[in-house]
Amino acid sequence: MRISTAQMHLNSLGAMRTRQSEIGKLQQQISSGVKLTRGEDDPVGMSTALRLEHTLASLKQFDSNSTVLGNRLRSQESALSDAGDVLQRARDLTIQASNGVLSESDLHSIAVEMRGLRASLLQIANRDDGAGRSLFAGNRDGVVPFIDSNGSVAYLGDDGQNNVDVAPSVAIADTDPGSAVFLRVPTGDGISRSAAAAGNTGSAKLDAAQVANQALWNGSTLQLRFTSSTSYEVLDGSGNPLTPPVAGAWTPGQTVEAKGVQFTVSGTPAAGDSFTLQKAPNQDIFATLQQLVDALDSPGSSDADIARRVNALRTSQKDLVSAQDHLLDIRSSTGIRRNDLESSDTARSADGVSLSEAISGLRDTDLAEAIGQLKLNETALDAAQQLMARVQRSSLFDLL
């Protein structure tokens, strides 16, 4: 095999260039702290790093979603707490007004405060999350969800509820729609609701009406009707006598029972007065407060007027208790969602740390290893340079 001087020069020069290239790359890795900058450096590692970075970027979007959702759920919980305080004050005033001894002036003062409580509740229902989005408008943005018109409240939102993605395969419900919070509210005791007929003319007061035996009551409407001040009959929802008939003599405070339902009435009823128990319907909270205002503003100080007012207040008082329980249930649900959100935040944060460490392992420079390789390549380059110098000073003719 023939070896020329030019070939030796080329081989030495190639070795030097290779070492210089390695040294330059290592110096760049050490100065920048990044060892993976081009796909050709490590195609598999680059592909893996890009995939991990995409996953990490999606976690950052989940972080943003979680922050917004957390703020909205905290705002909802605060609003529900304030609404509960309003209802508690309304309940206290109702109990105070139900004693039957307050003057019309006192009742009017309570009615004025009750109107203020209703207005406060409407403001709570129309709160936003601080970023311009209504808390209780459902899926509709840019609307004021509740509008009051002549004592009746209209809902401009919808029944929708967004599910917000806060982690891979994890979605948590946003704030509840206002229709579920303030409109579809159980009344009575949540099972049944009793009330005196608006046209009663006697002084009888409904002390209690309840379902005593669920097995005997099928959810139908029952009506206790007085045929005189000392006699009664029980009718069905259509106004027909029961079969077999339930009727008889009556004395104040006597409990009348029919089909698992018990009525207890005091005072003196007039012929035709009636009291009804039905399956508890839903009613919006604003209507309940408006009924209280109307009852408090009802004129008259006769025994019949007082009885009519007390009966209305007692019915609305039970509706308030049911509404309070309803808001507490929603607050409990909100708290559960906040706990789930916190758990997702913790798990997502741990995933983010793991991903960042994995990306760092692929991209970041191991300084100890890089410096060691740099020293090794510098030594090799120095040796190559010395060899090149010796080659340049010699010739194959020296061996002849």
Written in H, E and C, the secondary structure of 176-237 is CCHHHHHHCEECCCCCEEEEECCCCCCCCEEEEEEECCCCCCCCCCEEEEEEECCEEEEEEC
Lookup result for tokens 């008082």:
317
Task: Give yes or no for residue 15 having a pLDDT over 80.
Answer: no
Q: What is the mean pLDDT of residues 306-315?
A: 95
Instruction: Provide the pLDDT for residue 348.
Output: 83
Query: Domain 38-190+281-364 belongs to what topology?
Result: f41 fragment of flagellin, N-terminal domain (1.20.1330)
Q: How far apart are the first and last CA of the chain?
A: 17
Q: Report residue 98: phi and psi, to 5°.
A: -85, 0
Which pLDDT score is estimated for 392? 60
Q: Distance of CA 147 to CAs 121, 126, 156, 315, Å?
A: 12, 9, 8, 26
Q: Is the pLDDT of residue 18 over 70?
A: no
Q: Is the model's pLDDT at 230 over the cut of 80?
A: yes
Q: 99 falls in which pLDDT band (50, 70, 90)?
A: confident
193 beta partners: 278
Q: What is the pLDDT of residue 164?
A: 94
Residue 185 clears pLDDT 80, i.e. is over it: yes
- Would you state the pLDDT for residue 371? 63
What is the reported pLDDT for 193? Answer: 97
Lowest mean pLDDT segment, chosen from 122-131, 169-178, 179-188, 298-307:
298-307
3-state secondary structure of 2: coil
Torsion of CA 387, 389, 391, 393, to 10 degrees: -150
Q: For the whole model, what pTM was predicted?
A: 0.80
So what's the pLDDT on residue 142? 87
The DSSP annotation for 125-147 comes to HT-B-SSS-BSSSTT--SS-SEE
**The length of the chain, given as a count of residues:** 400
Q: What is the DSSP letter of 281?
A: P
Convert the pLDDT of each residue in 349-381 to its tens digit. Answer: 887 777 776 766 656 554 556 566 656 766 666
Band (pLDDT 50/70/90 cuts) for residue 234 is: very high
Q: How far is CA 389 from CA 2, 7, 19, 375, 382, in A?
A: 22, 15, 16, 21, 11
Sign of the torsion angle spanned by Cα atoms 257, 262, 264, 269: negative
For 329, the token pair is 């249930």
Neighbouring C-beta atoms of residue 12, cutoff 10 Å = 19
Q: Name the band, by pLDDT with cuts 50, 70 and 90, for residue 141.
A: confident
Beta bridge partners of 206: 265
Neighbours of 272 (CB within 10 A): 14
pLDDT at 11: 63
Token duo for residue 234: 């029980």
| Range 130-143 average pLDDT | 93
pLDDT class of 224 with cuts at 50, 70, 90: very high
Residue whose entry in the numeric block shows the structure tokens 């948590």: 172
Lowest mean pLDDT among 134-148, 325-339, 344-358: 344-358
Tell me the per-residue pLDDT of 39-61, one tens digit each, with 9 for 90 and over: 556 666 566 756 766 777 777 88
Which residues fall within 8 angstroms of residue 358, CB to CB, at 6 or more apart?
Answer: 52
Q: Could you give phi then psi for residue 167, rounded to 5 degrees?
A: -170, 160
Query: What is the pLDDT averaged over residues 81-86?
Result: 98
pLDDT at residue number 119: 97
Domains of the chain: which residue ranges?
Answer: 1-35+382-400, 38-190+281-364, 191-279
- Cis before residue 244, ω within 30 degrees of 0? yes
pLDDT at 260: 96
